[in-house]
Structure 1
């Protein structure tokens, strides 16, 4: 396959949560493709370090931007820095998110609001501000990291599922309103993927085996699985996909019926009653 099949060379990509587990991976994979990358994160020193590393390793232009995506003024300043440096924006990848575990009856208002601020408002502000520029340009692509938990509630995870479900709808609304300007907005919905955020779930081998049994592909996903999908959705190779939700879960969402027990096991039951 042509190494430039995705045609991302010299595309300007802004990635939020750029030094988080997923964000770091996305930045590297876009850099491998020759894209110009704006790394947006709250962690100043680490963002600068990662930007320099990518620039040296892959010979691409990078920009480190310290920004709290929940702050309107900081988002405005960040967008101005990106446009001043690169003169355009081709792709926005919204990655920054938080997860706070809590039974719903014990969820504090400040925890609820923190999740909404980071997971939803941050996505909104970044999308709106970069979206205005994309409207002027008459082109642009947005990829928002959501989750299967937006469709099936992640119990005892506070406001996480609620905020991610809202992201899915926000993405559809932006696609519906901005598609006429050449802008695409899509969500990527991972689940059962090993990330720095989920690594504790897999410290027990039995837990990992139990999770694998729930997945049609019988394996746990990797950051590569997510990154490959994000790059494809960001590229013009997916140019007729707009307002979509792409699941990256190994077929977990297809396995609900398979989880319902039958006497002797579902396969054996079918054999016995054939």
Structure 2
């Protein structure tokens, strides 16, 4: 167990606790000695997951059925948390859904559903758990967003739109609740293997081609997200609020490398990296290579 994060004994609530991201975040909290509140839709499974976590790590864990879009269920989860733990120190919002469609074809029902879960749900849970943090004079909120919240990804317009909303909501919470000792930040993953993105990486060649677009030359794991969440959820980040940490292996900084380079600069760059044994994004990767101009 690591003591550097100083999470031991903290009460950490996680929405979407049965999802791939949520599971790893809950386990990482438990590894660091925190008590964990697991929140998800399936009551039987979430209670069983909490019991398993408590048995494995020797911490106090409880699982509550909670639909993040249902105010009554969220308030019931808050009340149960306070009754069983006495306080809540951390809330991590991970629950989310994705719908693919071109904007001109996207059904209004899909638009409303994704906004309701990904944005309204984050607001309700933040508001209700946040009220307890305000009373206590301290607390940390961490929201899972995405790099696509400010770098559009075609055919996922409603998902990207909701996450852009999450980013601004987090900034508003940070500004309004900072005087009460409550912080709010986002984690922005991209190119990470999760159950939601599993179909992207079912083909090894697709994974290989995508990894060549990333500075670290690998696809991220849920543990990479959990590590960033731990920092923002801990008091080690006490002077960080209203901000976001990208967890994308440097992809966001690679745009200049993915454009055509005039005067033979692309050939120079490719040859230099090949001589260093670095895999390139190139024709072999399955991604179209820009032509030197």
**TM bin (shorter chain):** over 0.9
- Once the two structures are superposed, the pairs formed by residues 103-182 of structure 1 within 5 Å of their partners are 103-182=102-181
Greater CA deviation, 160-169 or 26-35?
26-35
Partner of 2:266: 266
Deviation at 1:153, TM superposition (A): 1.1
Contact 1:154 1:160 in 2 (8 A): no
Indicate the RMSD between aligned Cα atoms, in angstroms. 1.6
Matched residues in 2 for 1:235 and 1:83: separation?
A: 20
- Once the two structures are superposed, the pairs formed by residues 12-51 of structure 1 within 5 Å of their partners are 12-51=11-50
Residue 192 of structure 1 pairs with residue 191 of structure 2 = yes
Deviation at 1:267, TM superposition (A): 5.2
Rg larger for: 2
Matched residues in 1 for 2:177 and 2:217: separation?
A: 39
Partner of 2:54: 55
The 3-state SS of whatever aligns with 1:161 is: helix
The 3-state SS of whatever aligns with 1:19 is: coil
The count of aligned residue pairs is: 271
Greater CA deviation, 150-159 or 52-61?
150-159
Deviation at 1:256, TM superposition (A): 0.8
Q: Which portions of structure 1, spanning 4 or more consecutive aligned residues, are displaced by more than 6 angstroms? A: 269-272
**5+ unaligned residues in a row in structure 1: which ranges?**
none
> Could you tell me the TM-score, scaled by structure 1's length?
0.95
Matched residues in 2 for 1:120 and 1:40: separation?
A: 17
Matched residues in 2 for 1:141 and 1:86: separation?
A: 16
Matched residues in 1 for 2:78 and 2:32: separation?
A: 23
Matched residues in 2 for 1:259 and 1:19: separation?
A: 37
Matched residues in 2 for 1:220 and 1:44: separation?
A: 32
Contact 1:68 1:74 in 2 (8 A): yes
**5+ unaligned residues in a row in structure 2: which ranges?**
273-293
Matched residues in 2 for 1:47 and 1:132: separation?
A: 24
Matched residues in 2 for 1:46 and 1:270: separation?
A: 50
Deviation at 1:34, TM superposition (A): 1.1
Partner of 2:219: 220
Partner of 1:70: 69
> Could you tell me the TM-score, scaled by structure 2's length?
0.89
